[in-house]
Amino acid sequence: MQLPVAFLLLCLLGIVQALSTAGNRLLVVIEELADKDKYSTFWSDLESRGYNLDFESPKSEKLTLFQHGERVYDHVLLLPPKSKGLGPSLTPKILMDFINGDGNILLALASDAPTPTAIVSLLLEFDIHLPSDRNALVVDHFNHDTISASDKHDVVLVPAPKALRPGAKNFFAGQSPDTTLAFPRGMGQVLGNESPLLHPILRAPSSAYSYNPKDQSETVEDPFAVGQQLALVSALQARNSARFTVLGSLEMLENKWFDAKVKAPGASGEKTTTGNRDFAKALSAWTFQEIGVLKVGNVEHHLNEGADQGLVELNPKIYRIKSDVTFSIELSEYNYDHWAPFTPPAKDAVQLEFSMLSPFHRLALTPSSSGTSSNSTLYTTSFTVPDQHGIFKFEVNYKRPFFTYIDETREVTVRHYAHDEWPRSFAISGAWTWIAGIWVTVAGWLAFVALWLWSAPVRSSGPADKAKKTQ
Ligand SMILES: *[C@@H]1O[C@H](CO)[C@@H](O)[C@H](O)[C@H]1NC(C)=O
């Protein structure tokens, strides 16, 4: 008896501790365990959010992402190795399988550690391109930190991302709108524009470019990419909503940049403190599914008629054409440690499609005040079923960058009117002339028959006529 209770308690404890929606087992792949202390603030921030950190060297014998076909970790933080490769337990195929198995990966790059070929080819698979020069880093002569990099201009200062795309939510901004991020000695990426799953989180300032400091020539002939072409941090959310984030500069996560004071060239007044710590929190939280995670609660549809009296059946299998129906769906958004009501970003709407092959209706769902609680928003809409019978589905297909995807469908049959459901002829005003026509004809005929029957026959008038006939 005691064992199951203890087990239950353990399970409960596990649930309480896992603050991410995707679990709390985090593997940190770091080659030199001695370097670990440089990032201690970041580790303790992660631990305070409920993660179990497991540090492993990529060369470790016992490092494995899968055991008996199951994931051993929920998330992986990959730090670039100093040596050439990542070893046999972190091949691109295994990493890809990890993502396909709903695991999340945060990959950090560094310009002083050559990116392993395995990583380069994994990134190519995602349409993320790295400079062919393995030592290339991002420099900016107008937006660098004058305190730490007055010579080399390789600590780029970027404003924290305000809006990622029109309408998208701002997960990655710092507390105040003009927070500055320090991006020291990082590697820029170029994102292919083929993939709709790929989005930059942070772009380089327009005067930045990618440059190899080992290159001795005076001028940069043919830079890998310049300005806004360069993504400093980018994100990919796979079709299964697993997340893969590339952070161009591992140094960004170091303790010394979390509270460093920086100053841009020509900036008047005080030095400012970087917003790196908040950014690192938001970035890891997004990658490991603590924010931007959507959940579908109750999905309901029913006939409008009789709904106020509670007389209708919920989620019936069959509807009749032209009946009025209401559809509602409950949506929540995870916000670090609890489910909150979900509101789409400005200028965006959650839509319902009622479709058979193609949508007959595509309607914006509106939040209903009565069904909205502290943990979810109830979206509803009402419409008239189209005059077309067949197999239809209610579908909510909401796929936006930086939110996990929603695709909910409910199938229903739409039938004809039954023979006794048509309105009676006298209920149709357009039929009145025809009905009147029939009754006028009937009445006319009766009148004629009556006239015929009750009219006396014509009497013969006299002998003169008879005589004429006999002649
Ligand atoms: C529901 O919302 C409340 C208030 O925001 C929060 O304290 C609670 O943890 C939430 N419940 C869940 C299951 O997320």
168 with 233, same domain: the answer is yes
Ligand 1 centroid–CA 21 distance in Å is 14
Q: How far apart are CA 438 and CA 24, in angstroms?
A: 80
In a domain, 47, yes or no: yes
**374 Cα nearest atom in ligand 1:** 2
SS (H, E, C) 104-163: EEEEECCCCCCCCHHHHHHHHHCCEECCCCCCCEEEECCCECCCCCCCCCCEEEEECCCC
Domain termination residue (choose one: 382, 397, 415) = 415
- What is residue 60's predicted lDDT score, i.e. its pLDDT? 86
Angle among Cα 287, 288, 294 to the nearest 5 degrees reads 90
For the purposes of burial, counting CB atoms within 10 Å of the CB of 226, is it exposed (0-12), middle (13-18) or buried (19 or more)?
middle
Answer yes or no: are the C-beta atoms of 44 and 253 closer than 8 Å.
no
pLDDT digits 0-9 by tens, 433-468: 999 999 999 999 999 999 999 988 777 765 555 555
Domain termination residue (choose one: 274, 289, 304) = 289
20 with 77, same domain: the answer is yes
The pLDDT of 329-338, averaged and rounded, is 91
Ligand 1 contacts CB of residue 375 (under 6 A) = yes
Ligand 1 contacts CB of residue 258 (under 6 A) = no
Q: Please give the torsion angle defined by the CA atoms of residues 303, 305, 310 and 314, in that order, rounded to the nearest 10 degrees.
A: -10
209 with 259, same domain: the answer is yes
* The pLDDT of residue 348 is above 60: yes
280 with 311, same domain: the answer is no
3-state DSSP assignment of residue 302: strand
Output the CA–CA distances (angstroms, integers) from residue 139 to 84, 355, 356, in the order listed: 25, 52, 54
351 with 387, same domain: the answer is yes
Structure tokens at 9: 């308690």
CA dihedral (350, 353, 357, 358) positive or negative: negative
Structure tokens at 425: 């002829």
221 with 132, same domain: the answer is yes
Domain termination residue (choose one: 289, 304, 329) = 289
32 with 181, same domain: the answer is yes
Confidence class for position 224, pLDDT limits 50, 70, 90: confident
In a domain, 170, yes or no: yes
Q: What CATH number does residue 396 fall under?
A: 2.60.40.10
- What is residue 87's predicted lDDT score, i.e. its pLDDT? 83
- What is residue 52's predicted lDDT score, i.e. its pLDDT? 94
User: How many CA atoms lie within 13 Å of 99's alpha carbon, on the beta-carbon side?
Assistant: 24
- What is residue 216's predicted lDDT score, i.e. its pLDDT? 67
Confidence class for position 31, pLDDT limits 50, 70, 90: confident
Q: What CATH number does residue 229 fall under?
A: 3.40.50
138 with 210, same domain: the answer is yes
* The pLDDT of residue 328 is above 90: yes
In a domain, 98, yes or no: yes
Ligand 1 centroid–CA 17 distance in Å is 15
In a domain, 432, yes or no: no
Q: How far apart are CA 286 and CA 245, in angstroms?
A: 9
60: Cβ contacts below 8 Å, ≥ 6 apart: none
* The pLDDT of residue 227 is above 90: no
264 with 302, same domain: the answer is no
**Gyration radius (Cα) of the chain, Å:** 37
* The pLDDT of residue 271 is above 50: yes
Confidence class for position 336, pLDDT limits 50, 70, 90: confident
Side by side, the strands of the sheet bearing 198-203 are 52-56, 25-29, 75-78, 104-108, 243-247, 231-237, 198-203
Where in the sequence is the domain holding 370, given as residue range(s)? Answer: 292-415
pLDDT digits 0-9 by tens, 63-113: 999 999 899 999 999 998 877 778 888 999 999 999 999 999 999 998 888
237 with 306, same domain: the answer is no
- What is residue 172's predicted lDDT score, i.e. its pLDDT? 67
In a domain, 435, yes or no: no
269 with 409, same domain: the answer is no
* The pLDDT of residue 6 is above 70: no
Among 109-123, 170-184, 395-409, where is mean pLDDT lowest?
Answer: 170-184
In a domain, 33, yes or no: yes
Q: Which of 16, 330, 339 for mutating ligand 1's site (highest number of atoms within 8 Å of CB)?
A: 339
Max Cα separation, the chain?
Answer: 149
3-state DSSP assignment of residue 255: helix
Residue with tokens 């050439």: 84
In a domain, 332, yes or no: yes
Quote the number of domains for the chain. 2
Average pLDDT taken over every residue of the chain: 86
* The pLDDT of residue 333 is above 70: yes
- What is residue 218's predicted lDDT score, i.e. its pLDDT? 64
Ligand 1 centroid–CA 444 distance in Å is 78
Under DSSP, the state recorded for 351 is: E
**334 Cα nearest atom in ligand 1:** 14
Ligand 1 contacts CB of residue 338 (under 6 A) = yes
Q: How far apart are CA 273 and CA 287, in angstroms?
A: 25
Ligand 1 centroid–CA 339 distance in Å is 6
- What is residue 33's predicted lDDT score, i.e. its pLDDT? 85
Ligand 1 centroid–CA 93 distance in Å is 39
* The pLDDT of residue 223 is above 90: no
Q: How far apart are CA 108 and CA 257, in angstroms?
A: 15
Output the CA–CA distances (angstroms, integers) from residue 283 to 170, 261, 288, in the order listed: 11, 21, 9
Structure tokens at 305: 């008629």
Confidence class for position 217, pLDDT limits 50, 70, 90: low
- What is residue 164's predicted lDDT score, i.e. its pLDDT? 47
339 with 285, same domain: the answer is no
Q: Which of 375, 376, 377 for mutating ligand 1's site (highest number of atoms within 8 Å of CB)?
A: 375
Q: How far apart are CA 259 and CA 95, in angstroms?
A: 33
In a domain, 451, yes or no: no
The closest of 82, 92, 72, 75 to 35, measured between CA atoms, is 82
Structure tokens at 153: 């201009």
Confidence class for position 299, pLDDT limits 50, 70, 90: very high
- What is residue 207's predicted lDDT score, i.e. its pLDDT? 92
pLDDT digits 0-9 by tens, 156-206: 998 887 644 444 566 765 555 578 889 999 999 999 988 889 999 999 999
Report residue 134: phi and psi, to 5°: -70, -15
3-state DSSP assignment of residue 64: coil
% of the chain residues with pLDDT over 70: 89
